[in-house]
Chain A
Amino acid sequence: MTFTLDAALAARRFDVSLSLAPGETVAVLGPNGAGKSTLLSVISGLLRPDTGRAEVNGRVLFELGPGVHTWTAPHRRGTALLAQDPLLFPHLSALENVAFGPRSAGMPKREARESARHWLAEVDAADLADRRPGELSGGQAQRVAAARALAVDPEVLLLDEPLSALDIHAAPLLRRLLKRVLAGRRAIIVTHDVLDAYMLADRVIVMEEGRITEDGPTREVLRRPRSRFAAGLAGLNLVPGTVTSAGIRTAEGLEFAGQHDAPLVAGQAGVAAFPPSAVSVFLGEAHGSPRNSFRVTVTDLEPHGDQIRIRAGDLSADVTPAASADLGLAPGLEVYFVVKAAAVSIYPS
């Protein structure tokens, strides 16, 4: 009763294998162009991979390879898609939009409308039934689109950044609603927002350059990110290197002292992770142990809550505006980032 996917598409440098348990919701995170939308297109049948196999509940969605060529058309897959743009059919009312899926499956008109009313009520949109899509706000339209996708009772519900086109007021409401309707439903949600992953997903997948670089329970991935992208989402600095007895040594030979939070073998690949708030900034080299001090060049300054975030390449530090002014921080300035060993977690990558 699982969903499995194994697909490669050379033209998009896409190569992914993935499986979902029944009722499991997975968030797919990753930078632009990482292949997140390609993943959904391949699953829904809108894009044909070169090779691979996908199956849901024992039913083959596609099997492509030397000598095998099985292909299930998109309309027979049971994979409803909710995109960033609601894409409600403009010539149909909200109710008819929601009834479209059940009608296409051969349900009699009356029953389909009944079902559509149920799903509209489920997304708190019962009063919008007779409206045309042109008369709906962005948030209302997306709720109706969610009802339309749910009304076909998909085996896998695919959500492609469903909240990113919504304004700051409509998004939280729809996020709560999705949390409610996604409970116990198998879904894949592509998102840019770590909050979506926290609230909606049981599991997180990070995709980079067409491949899955991280896969694990949401809390675990965000607490101990292994990819730079996940570290960025979790708001952590991440330094990859080789594990040593005291911490980690980077490829450039920089030593990081830190806390090993699992028994580690010296020489294995690992990462050092620490929050920007644990980093102090000095103009001169600071000593005293156990500390890590390393020279960096400031690349950017940006507001971050009530702090100033100092970026130096891939690393960042948070300082108060007053401290930033005292130090005269500006892009191009050479400074020392200092972080206590106690604030650095070392774990295998």
Chain B
Amino acid sequence: MKRRRDTTYTGIPRWVAAIAAVGALFVLLPLAAMLGRVNWPQFIPLITSESSLTALGLSLRTAAASTVLCVLFGVPLALVLARGDFPGKRLLRSFVLLPLVLPPVVGGIALLYAFGRQGLLGQGLEVAGLRIAFTTTAVILAQTFVALPFLVVSLEGALRSAGSRYEAVAATLGARPTTVLRRVTLPLVLPGLASGAVLSFARSLGEFGATLTFAGSLPGVTRTLPLEIYLQRETDADAAVALSLLLVVVAVVVVGLSYRGPAPAGSGGRSARVGTPGRVPA
């Protein structure tokens, strides 16, 4: 395919492009520096050591579980925030988005006081024979806590740009709200939902602070890949670098494969206003 260049006016001043290049370098340079420090002959043994594979497996499993929880709670939250009309909506949004700006360690402490042994719900759960803190469940909860806003923000944006006109039409055609959600709303925002889920997965995969605070660092139970990397750095720098590279590769693959950037009009390539632009004779 021929590259399309200079066919349409973009209006980006050169100095803006120059600063953008510096910004891109700022992100790429550290990764390149890390790449330069990889102990290539030992790379495969380092990342296939038992502790590494255990940590990677745990990370992938817990991140997948967190993503499921994010979708489960995030879709209703995004719907309520995008379509609902109730007092305190702005407040609710602020609270849901709080983990975005909160230091993860603070999130971990908060989770501990909610679900920990002495916590608000934790005490009751303890009586019921359920322990959450310092278990794999705690890892999943910590990751969900920090990753949920990514799904909500992404999906709410998609819902807003898709607008509610299709839903109104579907309702006048006799579709119950649940039918409208299943057959109209969700298919329309599927690209937004997918990119939100991918972002949540990536955020879960990288979670460190909240996990360490709320779940600890038990090998095979709560020690995820980021924790493993941090611990290895103290003793075996080569192993830490190799595992870091592994995490970078996993993240790049996941994001590159499925994240297509902010979906225009909430429906990927499909225009939300089908029919109006093409005024072709019938």
Question: Contact residues of A with B, CB < 8 Å?
Answer: 44-46, 73-81, 83, 85-91, 100-101, 104-105, 133-134, 136-143, 145, 148-149, 152, 158, 165-167, 169-170, 173-174
Query: In the complex, what's the smallest C-beta–C-beta distance from B41 to chain A, in angstroms?
Result: 51
**Mask for B12-39, Cβ within 8 A of A = 1, else 0?**
0000000000000000000000000000
B279 and A75 contacting across the interface, CB-CB below 8 Å = no
Judging by beta carbons under 8 Å apart, are A170 and B281 in contact? yes
Which of B133-141, B175-183, B238-246 contacts its partner? B175-183
Q: Cβ of B267: which chain A residues have Cβ within 8 Å of it? A: 90-91
A140–B166 CB distance below 8 A: no
Chain B residues at the A interface, C-beta cutoff of 8 Å:
165-166, 168-177, 179-180, 183-184, 187-188, 267, 270-276, 278-282
Contact A100 B282, CB 8 Å, known A74-B168, A91-B188: no
Determine which of B165, B173, B282 lies in contact with A137 in the assembled complex, contact meaning CB atoms within 8 Å: B282
Closest to A97 in B: B173
Question: Could you tell me if B276 and A77 are in contact, using CB atoms closer than 8 angstroms?
Answer: no
Complex alpha-carbon distance, A136 and B280, angstroms: 9
Q: Could you tell me if B274 and A75 are in contact, using CB atoms closer than 8 angstroms?
A: no
Q: How many Å lie between the Cα of A142 and that of B279 in the bound state?
A: 11
B contact patch SS: loop
Contact B274 A90 (CB under 8 A): yes
Nearest Cβ in chain A — how far from B180, in angstroms? 8
Q: Which of A80, A81, A90, A137 is the one whose CB lies under 8 Å from B280?
A: A137
Measured CA separation A140–B281 after assembly (Å):
8
Q: How many whole Å from A115's CB to the nearest CB in chain B?
A: 13
CA distance A89 to B186 in the complex (A): 12
Question: What separation, in Å, do the CA atoms of A247 and B187 have in the docked complex?
Answer: 65
Could you tell me if A87 and B166 are in contact, using CB atoms closer than 8 angstroms?
yes
Chain B residues within 8 Å of A74, by CB: 168, 171-172
Chain A contacts of B272 at CB under 8 A? Answer: 90
- A90–B270 touching, CB < 8 Å: yes
In the complex where A81-B169, A87-B165, A149-B173 touch, is A137 in contact with B281 (Cβ < 8 A)?
A: yes
Interface pair B274/A86, CB less than 8 Å apart: yes
Q: Which of B166, B173, B179, B275 contacts A80 (CB under 8 A)?
A: B173
Q: Does A104 contact B179, Cβ atoms closer than 8 Å?
A: yes
With contacts A81-B169, A83-B169, A166-B279 taken as known, whether A105 is within 8 angstroms of B274 at the C-beta atoms is no
B67 to chain A minimum Cβ distance, whole angstroms, is 23
| A88 CA to B173 CA, complexed, in Å | 12
User: Judging by beta carbons under 8 Å apart, are A134 and B270 in contact?
Assistant: yes
Can you list 22 residue pairs at the A/B interface with Cβ under 8 Å?
Answer: A45-B172, A74-B171, A75-B174, A75-B175, A83-B169, A85-B165, A87-B165, A87-B169, A87-B275, A90-B188, A90-B271, A100-B183, A104-B175, A105-B174, A137-B281, A138-B280, A138-B282, A142-B275, A152-B174, A158-B172, A167-B281, A169-B282
How many A-B pairs with Cβ below 8 Å?
Answer: 124
CB distance from B96 to the nearest CB of A (A): 28
Q: Which residues of B contact A166 (CB under 8 A)?
A: 279, 282
| CA gap between A46 and B270 in the complex, in Å | 26
When distances are taken between beta carbons in the complex, the residues of chain A under 8 Å from B270 are 90-91, 134
Chain B residues with Cβ under 8 A from A79's Cβ? 172
Among A76, A89, A139, A173, point to the contact of B166 (Cβ < 8 A): A89
Known: A137-B279, A141-B274, A142-B282. 17 other contacts (CB 8 A): A46-B172, A74-B168, A80-B172, A85-B165, A87-B166, A88-B274, A89-B187, A90-B271, A104-B170, A104-B175, A104-B179, A104-B183, A137-B278, A138-B276, A138-B282, A140-B282, A167-B280
Choose from B172, B180, B188, B271 the contact partner of A81 (Cβ within 8 Å): B172
Q: Which residue of A lies closest to B267 (CB)?
A: A90
Is there contact, CB below 8 Å, between A139 and B282? yes
* Chain A nearest Cβ from B45, distance in angstroms: 49
Distance A79 CA – B166 CA, assembled complex (angstroms) = 15
**Residue of B with least CB distance to A96:** B183
Report the bound CA distance from A139 to B176 in whole Å: 29
B180: A residues at CB distance < 8 A: 75
A136 and B176 form a contact (CB under 8 A): no
Q: Is the CB of A138 within 8 A of B175?
A: no
* Docked CA distance A88–B273 (Å): 9
- Residues from chain A with Cβ under 8 Å of B276 in the complex: 85, 138, 165
Nearest to B184 among chain A residues (CB) is A89
How many angstroms from the CA of A166 to the CA of B275 in the assembled complex? 10
Do B175 and A100 touch across chains, with their CB atoms under 8 A apart? yes
Contact A104–B173 (Cβ < 8 Å) = yes
Expressed in whole angstroms, the minimum distance between the Cβ of A124 and any Cβ of chain B is 9
Complex CA–CA separation, A327 to B155 (angstroms)? 66
The verdict on A46 contacting B171 (CB below 8 Å), with A85-B276, A90-B188, A90-B274 known, is yes
With both chains docked as a complex, state the minimum distance between the C-beta of B162 and any C-beta of chain A, in angstroms.
10
- Pair B174/A86 contact, Cβ less than 8 Å: no
**Distance of B192 from chain A, by nearest CB (Å):** 13
Residue of B nearest to A141 (CB): B275
Contacts of A89 in B (CB 8 A): 166, 170, 183-184, 187-188
Q: Residue among B183, B188, B267 with the most chain A CB within 10 A?
A: B183
In this complex, what residue of A is CB-closest to B270? Answer: A90
Complex CA distance for A74 and B169, rounded to whole angstroms:
10
The interface residues of chain A lying within 8 Å CB-to-CB of B273 are 85
Contact between chains at A86 and B173 (CB < 8 Å): no
**Minimal beta-carbon separation of A38 from chain B (angstroms):** 14
- CA distance in complex: A141, B172 (Å): 18
Of all A-B residue pairs in the complex, the 8 with the closest CB atoms, nearest first, are A139-B282, A137-B280, A141-B275, A104-B175, A169-B281, A101-B173, A74-B171, A170-B282
* A143-B176 Cα distance, complex, nearest whole Å: 25
